[in-house]
Structures are given as C-alpha cells and as structure tokens.
Amino acid sequence: MVTYVGVSEIARLVRRVGIEPLLTRLAAYIREDFLRWERFEKSARLASHSPHGVIELMPTCDGTLYAFKFVNGHPGNTAHGKLTVTALGVLADVATGYPLLLSELTIATALRTAATSALAASVMARKDAKSMAIIGNGAQSEFQVLAFRALLGINEVRAFDTDAAATEKLIGNLAGVPGLVITPAASAEEAVRGADIVTTATADKALAEVLDPGLVEPGMHINALGGDCPGKTELHPDVLRAARVVVEFEPQTRIEGDIQQVGSAFPVIELWRVLSGEVAGRESRDQVTVFDSVGFAIEDFSTLRLIRDLCADSPESGTIDLLPPPDTDPKDLYRLVAG
C-alpha cells in the first residue's frame, strides 16, 4: 500500500499544524534541500503547451528519494469555475523504485510557492522591511501574505487586483489574523508606493508589464511569481536590467521567467548560492532586488518530504493500493488477475 494524501487530508493537516508554523517549517525543508543542491538531478520541467495553457512534469532525485509533480496552468479556467493551477505528486524510494507517497499538490503548491518566496526575501529584502504590496489577489495571495508575515514579520500590506472582488476576498479571508492590516489599493501604482517588498502574482498568459521602472523605488525587493512560462511576463525589461536578479534554476528560468525578455547573456544568481552564503542577496540598502520565481522541482521534493514526515502515524493520511500486496509472488503477477 502507498500512503495517500488528498485535498481533505491536506486541509486537516494544515489546520492541525497551523498555516504559519507549517509555512515556516516548509521553508526550512526547502532551504535544507537547496543547500544540498549538488546532490540533486536537475532539469527544466517537461512542458506541453496549448492555446489554453500548459501541462508540465517536474522531476528530481537526490539519490535516495525520487519525486515528480504533474501540474497545469490554465489562466482561462476561472471563467469556467475551475482552478488555474492543479497538481499532484509522487515520492518514491530510489533503492526499490516503489512509490511511497501519492499526494495532492494543488494546495501544497500554493504553500510551497509562498514559503519559497518568503525564504528568498529573507536573504534579499532589507532587514528592516515592514510593508508589502501584492498585485494579483487570486489563489496565491493569502498564502503569500501569511508566509511573509511568518518569516519576515510583515504586517502592513496593500493589495491591488483588476478584479476588486479578489481583493475583497483576500481581505475577508485574513480579517481575523492578529495585527495584520491589509489595505485595498485603487491601482498598482498606489499599492507599491513606499512598499519595501512588492509581490506580483498575476495569472494572465501575456507579455504584461505589471511593474515598470517608474514604480520601482530604491531598496525595493520584488517577488515576481506570475511570469512562469514562455510568453508570460510581469516586469518591464528595464526593471530587470536595473536590479540584482536571483532565480531558482537558471536553465529553466531563461525559458519561462521574466528574464526571457533580456537575453541569455543577462547575469543572474541562483538562489542556492545566496542561501549558502556564497554570494550576497543584496549588496547595498538602495539596491533593487528581484526574485524571478517560476517554481522548481526541488521545492516540490521538499514539500512531499514534509508531507510524508507530518503524516507518519497521523490521522491525516490514508493508503491506496497502487502496488500489489506484499505477499505477491514477484514471478507470478498473473495470479492476481486469474482469480
């Protein structure tokens, strides 16, 4: 039997642990795995693009465990009452090839994206950062706000979305969080004015310019999430050219991230080098920094590891018979179907 964690199970797990403690622990798992960077097999994800969106496979392995995620990105889905992003994942034992865990990763991807964002900001944003603007208040927004609150102590947030109902949803969902103040903004310009950190999390598959150079202030840290496939961006190219840019896995981000706009010679730094202390995330107080995040398989590996650990001997997981029973004769598979 294989451990199974569905949407109901992950929701119970989050409620039991608490979302902010869970985000903090997940960030620690991601950091731990990024510091083992050289042990992992790494490749850009395998993507199948269509006019409606993209379906991707994201594999990685550290020599002991193997993981993959199946994930889609379809921005038009919300018009039909469907999620933009859904995902599932598998964690397997390298020594036997047997799957150990099958888990939903739709909710878990939102958690890991937020945890990675805040982890990167913890080594890139100014240490005295107090306020954040979030542009794009859809499915990611609550997780982002809570991750930055948990890891950086951010409690002042200005929120903008072209859909005012999305901003109302964000404010309503987090209304009970002690000390957190979310203020709606009438425009992106109003949201980012004076913000220490700016998160862009828009969904449209377009060469958009959510932030242009006129909106960027000295010392700002930009957490860019929405530019995550070819032909989909959020930042004006000149914002990137004037900033210190950190990415997860350079070969993948060159194809999918905002840096797809500025050419292969444009210099970037991989996040693991900053987390390890090899290079600085920020060189001066007034420097503008950008985390051009597209999501990477090691983050999903870390997430599946954490789910496995949290579900050990807990009521949040079940089992599913993806494998023949342990007493099956390995040379007589036919017996299972012969009756």
Residues 6+ apart with CB under 8 A from 162: none
Number of domains observed in the structure of the chain? 2
Residues 190, 260 share a domain: yes
Residues 320, 195 share a domain: no
Known catalytic residue at 62: no
Least confident of 84-88, 154-158, 312-316: 312-316
Residues 33, 161, 196, 228: which is the catalytic one? 228
Q: Say yes or no to pLDDT of 332 above 90.
A: yes
pLDDT digits (tens, 9 = 90+) for 135-179: 999 999 999 999 999 999 999 999 999 999 999 999 999 999 999
In sequence order, the β-bridge partners of residue 103 are 5, 89
Separation CA 48–CA 33 (nearest Å): 27
Residues 266, 310 share a domain: no
Residues 309, 291 share a domain: no
Nearest by Cα to 290 from 257, 263, 264, 265? 257
Separation CA 110–CA 104 (nearest Å): 11
Q: Say yes or no to pLDDT of 313 above 80.
A: no
| Predicted pLDDT at 157 | 98
Q: Is 121 within the bounds of a domain?
A: no
Nearest by Cα to 85 from 114, 112, 107? 107
Separation CA 203–CA 72 (nearest Å): 12
Query: Which residue has better confidence, 52 or 97?
Result: 97
pTM to 2 decimal places: 0.95
What CATH number did the domain enclosing 283 receive? Answer: 3.40.50.720
What CATH number did the domain enclosing 69 receive? Answer: 3.30.1780.10
Separation CA 22–CA 18 (nearest Å): 6
Structural domain of 144: 126-295
